């Protein structure tokens, strides 16, 4: 397996490489039927793997056979053009370190491409699994289902990540009988190692100081905070920060409505920022002055009074503004994040108090 390992680790974050490996695995093993259980008499036609179907809108696909075939041609009464017994497809979109966003969902769930009987599988690997905004996903699926009158849409869209794939790839029941069995076993094992290597980028943040962290460490810490429901971070959104320097990883939570805009908390790498989003451009200056005054009354000034305390940020007007920030919160990651959680909770209380003073819910 040395040659396979050498190939797979040559560029382990390449979507094209993952696409090639998954094409081989899906066509030679029972992996897809475990990722997308179809039920009933339906079965996958593994011999007819689809490569970049619908004009490269999707990465891979596989026909579904069984039951009564569906003829999708308007007004057609004869046997369907896509073959007797074909009732749909499993369409597959692969993302490696890239976010799945609303535009992607809208494009791929267009009824002209995603037909009755089709299933859509999103495979989110690397940072993609962490950056998935599940609240956004649920809202978009509900909206599209209502708009296009497809009540079963949510049941036909599946999301799987490395956390689902890694244990599956070790299951001997995935292996086919016959001459492909040994090669399929070797490729499954090598790909499992590759996914574990990608995941390891996010698991080592506690082993070194934040000054030595790479972006994977920040993704890992923020995901850990969200999973641990630290402070109010249970629904935090993790991903690239708009307008920040390349490579900065963000973690946003606690959106609070205020008259004229919204306040929220956002980590930008190891700096925690209080963000202001005015609702109208013409009101930016007025709303910013009001927020600055509210924070000032709560003791947030231009100088830090203690390590990790909020400090007022210079006044720069924009569509999204940093009104205060705190450094040094991540210096102590001992005690199962207890110290970090306590410091974040104190800052949350200040921001809630500011929002309440401005007339928001707080």
Q: Which residues contact 89 (CB under 8 A, 6 or more apart)?
A: 50, 53, 61, 62, 63, 64, 115, 117, 118, 119
Separation of alpha carbons 359 and 167, rounded Å: 50
| Interatomic CA distance for residues 186 and 46, integer angstroms | 19
HEC string of 67-126 equals: CCCCCCCCCCCCCCCCCCCEEEEEEEEEEECCCCCHHHHHHHCCCCCCCCCCEEEEEEEC
Residue 340 · residue 240 · CB < 8 Å: no
Taking the C-alpha atoms of residue 137 and residue 350, their distance in angstroms, rounded to an integer, is 31
Q: Determine the Cα angle at 279 with ends 219 and 98, to 5°.
A: 25
Question: What confidence tier does 206 reach under pLDDT thresholds 50, 70, 90?
Answer: confident
Q: Which CATH class is domain 2-198?
A: alpha beta
Query: Token digits for 131?
Result: 């950056």
DSSP lists the bridge partners of residue 161 as 124
**Average pLDDT of 94-109?**
95
Helix axes 338-357 and 284-297, enclosed angle (nearest 10): 120
| Partners of 122 in the β-ladder | 93, 159
Put simply, whether the predicted model's pTM sits higher than 0.75 gets the answer yes
> pLDDT by residue (tens digit) across 144-185?
999 999 999 999 999 999 999 999 999 999 998 888 899 899
In our burial notation (b when 16+ CB lie closer than 10 A, e otherwise), range 94-132 reads bbbbbbbbeebbeebbeeebbeebbbbbbbbbbbbbbbb
Rounded mean pLDDT, 219-223: 96
| 8 Å CB contact between 57 and 113 | yes
pLDDT one-digit tens code per residue, 319-350? 999 999 999 898 877 667 888 999 999 999 99
Whole-angstrom CA distances from 126 to 13, 97, 220, 244, 333 are 8, 5, 11, 21, 23
Residue 351 · residue 254 · CB < 8 Å? yes
**Across-strand partners of 350?**
none
What gap in Å lies between CA 116 and CA 281, rounded to an integer? 44
Q: Domain ranges in the chain?
A: 2-198, 205-357
pLDDT band at residue 80 under the 50/70/90 scheme: very low
């Amino acid at each position: 397996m040395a040659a396979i390992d050498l190939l797979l680790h040559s560029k382990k974050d390449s979507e094209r490489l993952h696409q090639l490996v998954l094409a081989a695995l899906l066509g030679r093993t029972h992996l897809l039927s475990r990722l997308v259980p179809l039920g009933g008499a339906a079965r996958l036609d593994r011999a007819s793997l689809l490569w970049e179907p619908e004009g490269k809108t999707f990465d891979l696909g596989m026909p579904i056979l069984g039951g009564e075939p569906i003829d999708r041609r308007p007004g057609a009464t004869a046997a369907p053009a896509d073959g007797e017994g074909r009732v749909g497809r499993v369409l597959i979109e692969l993302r490696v370190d890239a976010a799945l966003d609303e535009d992607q969902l809208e494009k791929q769930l267009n009824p002209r491409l995603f037909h009755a009987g089709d299933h859509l599988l999103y495979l989110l690997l690397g940072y993609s699994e962490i950056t998935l905004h599940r609240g956004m996903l649920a809202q978009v699926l509900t909206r599209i289902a209502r708009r296009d009158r497809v009540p079963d849409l949510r049941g036909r869209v599946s999301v799987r990540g490395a956390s689902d794939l890694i244990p599956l790839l070790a299951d001997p029941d995935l292996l086919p009988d016959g001459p492909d069995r040994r090669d399929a076993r070797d490729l499954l094992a090598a790909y499992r190692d590759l996914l574990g290597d990608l995941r390891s980028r996010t698991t080592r943040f506690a082993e070194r100081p934040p000054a030595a962290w790479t972006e994977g460490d920040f993704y890992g810490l923020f995901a850990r905070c969200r999973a641990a429901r630290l402070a109010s971070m249970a629904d935090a959104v993790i991903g690239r920060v708009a307008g920040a320097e390349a490579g900065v990883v963000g973690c946003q939570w606690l959106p609070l409505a205020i008259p004229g805009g919204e306040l929220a908390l956002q980590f930008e790498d190891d700096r925690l920022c209080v963000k202001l989003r005015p609702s109208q451009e013409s009101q930016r200056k007025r709303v910013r002055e009001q927020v600055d005054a509210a924070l000032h009354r709560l003791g947030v000034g231009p100088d830090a009074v203690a390590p990790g305390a909020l400090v007022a940020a210079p006044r720069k007007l924009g569509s999204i503004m940093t009104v205060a920030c705190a450094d040094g919160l991540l210096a102590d990651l001992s005690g199962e994040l207890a110290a970090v959680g306590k410091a974040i909770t104190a800052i949350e209380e200040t921001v809630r108090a500011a929002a309440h003073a401005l007339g928001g819910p707080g």
